């Protein structure tokens, strides 16, 4: 393997760290956003079920 100048190795190392940071940060952000959307979806479904129960109970009770 050819020996490169020190500044070439430094530039290569900085570039690799930059790319890894950007890729890792993207995965972190996308993962966090996906988790938040999933949790909010579960809460929304629970709220919809709770809101639908009283309406179902009103329909089941005979009117006097």
Q: Which residues of 38-52 are buried (b: 16+ CB within 10 A; e: fewer)?
A: eeeeeeeeeeeeeee
pLDDT beyond 70 at 9: yes
Distance CA 12, CA 40 (A): 42
Predicted pLDDT at 58: 65
Q: Encode pLDDT of 13-40 as tens digits.
A: 999 999 999 999 999 999 999 999 999 9
Predicted pLDDT at 24: 98
pLDDT beyond 70 at 63: no
Predicted pLDDT at 1: 52
Percent of the chain with pLDDT over 90: 58
Q: Where are the domains of the chain?
A: 27-53
């Amino acid at each position: 393997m050819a020996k490169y100048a020190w500044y070439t190795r430094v530039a290569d190392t900085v570039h690799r760290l930059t790319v890894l940071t950007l890729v890792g940060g993207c995965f972190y952000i996308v993962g966090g956003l996906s988790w938040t959307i999933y949790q909010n979806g579960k809460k929304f479904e629970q709220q919809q079920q709770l809101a639908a129960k009283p309406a179902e109970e009103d329909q089941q009770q005979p009117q006097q």
